Chains A and B, each alone.
Chain A
Amino acid sequence: MSEHLPILQVVVPLLAGPLCLLLRHRLLVRGLATAVPLACLTIAGLLLHRVQQVGAISYHIGGWAPPLGIEYRIDLANAYVMVIVSAIAAVVMPFLPGHMGSAMVRRREHLFYAIFLLALAGLLGISATGDMFNAFVFLEIASLASYSLVALGRHRRALVAAYSYLIIGTIGGTFFLLGIGLMYQMTGTLNMVDLAHRLPEPMSPGTPGSRTVLVAFAFLAVGLSIKLAVFPLHQWLPRAYAHAPSAVSAFLAATSTKVSYYLLVRVVFSLFGAAYVFDALKLDRLLLPLSIVAMFAGSTAAIFQTDLKRLLAYSSVAQIGYMTLGVSLASVTGLTGGLVHLFNHALMKGGLFLAAACYGMRLRSSRIADLAGAGRLMPWTTAAFVTGGLALIGVPGTAGFVSKWYLVLAALEQGRWLVAVLVVASSLLAVAYVWRVVEVAYFADRDAGAHPIKEVPPLLLVPTWILIGATVYFGLRTELTAGVAEAAAGVLWESLR
């Protein structure tokens, strides 16, 4: 049984999705949809534990040996990503029934859970697989499910947001597919380990085919950058997250961009290798300025938003900038910073979007102006939002501080003082946009004529506080996140070579 864990990680949610369609009964479906992410979390935890002890696990699907068969390859890096993805899915689940607004949707609740579980299966599949084409298929499963989830938002604008997300996402996915094709043309393999061994030869400049490999890398990098919403390819993200149901925004913000980041890091470091990407191509010269612009442009745009979810979405663009900054510093410390931030940002942005979902449930609006008086009337939700906001800023004692610490450290290691200063300076912008919300929530009075509001039930407060509490916990105890991320960065740096 335990040797089949890598495939169970993906197959359990993948089968549970269609099973929801067959069960139909509301309580059965809810029970199944609650149990599956917890089961995934258990499996991911077991895998992470095993990988820490014995190193990378290679699982041959159907007993066909790689590179001909499809291999699932679990090492520290993807076990770490799978833990965070399934943990977020488990935490978000109690929020989903709250989004069954109209009676028409409530009758089709099982469809909603089916799509959600398929999205989870896709995201876990991208992380688990060691085969590039398999990664493409899971990327599209996850993306198609995300488009439909975004379209379920209350306002009709959600439909337009989902449509434009679909168009840009498909272009990204197709670029990725084209990159895989070009790589296959030069190497004749799709297996990641095999690719890592066969790519170096056609990569060296001057050999025939070196240009094909260069084009392949360009398509892979741009395709994944679209899915990751790297500045300036981020346009779809604020619209999609602002109009999706809040719990869906929490789930997607905390998992979907993170998995794309993992895949990008895998392609850059494991497949092509730092020597090619940074020494020969000088990708850092492009990615570093883009990351820094993302940090400032995203945060500045967030300051001027009037909608809470849109503010958080623009903040995500900035936070993705920190993660790609970690890649562009081209060092193990930098990559550690990026991976720690992947984990920490998933916790805090997940927690903040859940807090926004709590507000949305009581206020029936996500406008910042409508938060007036919420500080007194919904004290626990507002406290969660403030704590998450502090983590976003990077106050010491929160998880955000740990990731920024590693990024600053990586910049200073290379004597890049300016980059270190810019990381700290952009955090000050986060103070501005978090303060805008805090100011309204605590210091403005609620209109006399507005409908009365009260705190949300514990069923929703507990998941929110699990994530927010985790940002504090992992801000104080860093060995779990930073320790694993550092080891994972080491694995990615060395791996497959």
Chain B
Amino acid sequence: MSASILGLWNYWAVIVLMMTGLYIVTARDNLVKKVMGLNIFQVSVIMFYVSMAKVRGGTAPILVEGEETVLYSNPLPHVLMLTAIVVGVATTALALALVVRIQEAYGTVEEDELVRIDDDDG
């Protein structure tokens, strides 16, 4: 039992981060906090990819003259995550831009108040 927790601690960290993010997204009324939750949620997946590719004692995959057998980490998931980070930044930027527009249009960024204003409109 302890081996499956300690030996796979990176996966547990991913799960904890992921659930924290999802909880914030669903439980918070403040739209900015929801975006933060979404970020934590996305970061958990990035951490999953990065830790998956890490080889213990491994270094960057650069060919060194004279050393034929370099132990290196798998670079592919790391590279994929560069793209995923860009996607995450774009999503955050768009979400925050929408929050600014919502603040301008409604005068609030609290979800319960937005629902109330829309209901009053009929």
How far, in Å, is A288 (CB) from chain B's closest CB? Answer: 28
Which one of B34, B80, B102 lies within 8 Å of A159 (CB-CB)? B102
Which one of A147, A148, A151, A178 lies within 8 Å of B45 (CB-CB)? A178
Which one of B52, B94, B99 lies within 8 Å of A144 (CB-CB)? B94
| Interface size range on B against A | 20 to 34
Q: Known A144-B90, A144-B91; judge A159-B84 contact (CB<8 A).
A: no
Task: Tell me the B103-122 residues at the A interface (CB within 8 Å).
Answer: 105-106, 114, 118
Contact between chains at B98 and A174 (CB < 8 Å): no
Q: Known A160-B114, A170-B42; judge A133-B80 contact (CB<8 A).
A: yes
Q: For the complex, give the distance between the alpha carbons of A151 and B25 in Å.
A: 20
Task: Tell me the A121-144 residues at the B interface (CB within 8 Å).
Answer: 133, 136-137, 140, 144
Contacts of B77 in A (CB 8 A): 181, 184
Q: Known A159-B105, A181-B52; judge A174-B95 contact (CB<8 A).
A: no
B19 at the interface (CB under 8 A from A): no
Which one of A133, A166, A178 lies within 8 Å of B95 (CB-CB)? A166
Which one of B83, B114, B118 lies within 8 Å of A137 (CB-CB)? B83
Contact between chains at A171 and B22 (CB < 8 Å): yes
Residue interface bits A152-175, CB-to-B below 8 A is 1, else 0? 000011011011001100110110
| Interface size range on A against B | 20 to 34
Q: For the complex, give the distance between the alpha carbons of A133 and B91 in Å.
A: 17
Contact between chains at B102 and A163 (CB < 8 Å): yes
Residue interface bits B17-52, CB-to-A below 8 A is 1, else 0? 000001001000001001000100110010011001
Contact between chains at A137 and B105 (CB < 8 Å): no
Smallest CB-CB separation from A163: which chain B residue? Answer: B98
How far, in Å, is A261 (CB) from chain B's closest CB? Answer: 22
Q: For the complex, give the distance between the alpha carbons of A140 and B83 in Å.
A: 11
Contacts of B84 in A (CB 8 A): 136, 177
Contacts of B105 in A (CB 8 A): 156, 159
How far, in Å, is A310 (CB) from chain B's closest CB? Answer: 14
Smallest CB-CB separation from A143: which chain B residue? Answer: B91
Contacts of A478 in B (CB 8 A): none
Contact between chains at A171 and B48 (CB < 8 Å): no
User: Most B CB atoms within 10 A — which of A148, A157, A159, A171?
Assistant: A159
Contact between chains at A177 and B25 (CB < 8 Å): no
Task: Tell me the A296-338 residues at the B interface (CB within 8 Å).
Answer: none
Contact between chains at B118 and A160 (CB < 8 Å): yes
Contact between chains at A181 and B98 (CB < 8 Å): no
Could you count the A-B residue pairs with CB atoms below 8 Å apart for me: how many are there?
64
Contacts of A178 in B (CB 8 A): 45, 48
Which one of B38, B101, B102, B114 lies within 8 Å of A167 (CB-CB)? B38
- The prevalent SS among residues of B at the interface is helix
Contacts of B41 in A (CB 8 A): 171, 174
Smallest CB-CB separation from A151: which chain B residue? Answer: B98
A204 at the interface (CB under 8 A from B): no
Contact between chains at A166 and B52 (CB < 8 Å): no
Contact between chains at A163 and B49 (CB < 8 Å): no
Q: For the complex, give the distance between the alpha carbons of A184 and B22 in Å.
A: 24
Contacts of A174 in B (CB 8 A): 41-42, 45
User: Most B CB atoms within 10 A — which of A166, A170, A177?
Assistant: A170
How far, in Å, is B106 (CB) from chain A's closest CB? Answer: 7
Contacts of B87 in A (CB 8 A): 137, 140, 173
Contacts of A133 in B (CB 8 A): 80, 83
Contacts of B49 in A (CB 8 A): 181
Q: Known A137-B83, A160-B118, A181-B48; judge A170-B101 contact (CB<8 A).
A: no
User: Most A CB atoms within 10 A — which of B41, B45, B98?
Assistant: B98
Smallest CB-CB separation from B52: which chain A residue? Answer: A185
Contact between chains at A166 and B94 (CB < 8 Å): yes
Q: For the complex, give the distance between the alpha carbons of A160 and B29 in Å.
A: 13
Contact between chains at B48 and A170 (CB < 8 Å): no
Contact between chains at B98 and A157 (CB < 8 Å): no
Q: For the complex, give the distance between the alpha carbons of A151 and B98 in Å.
A: 8
Smallest CB-CB separation from B121: which chain A residue? Answer: A157
Contact between chains at B91 and A140 (CB < 8 Å): yes
7 closest A-B pairs by beta carbon, nearest first, are A156-B105, A140-B87, A163-B98, A159-B102, A178-B45, A159-B101, A181-B49
A-B contact pairs, 16 of them (CB 8 A): A133-B83, A137-B87, A140-B91, A147-B98, A156-B106, A159-B98, A159-B102, A163-B98, A163-B102, A166-B91, A166-B94, A166-B95, A171-B22, A177-B84, A178-B45, A185-B52
Residues of A within 8 A of B (CB): 133, 136-137, 140, 144, 147-148, 151, 156-157, 159-160, 162-163, 166-167, 170-171, 173-174, 177-178, 181, 184-185
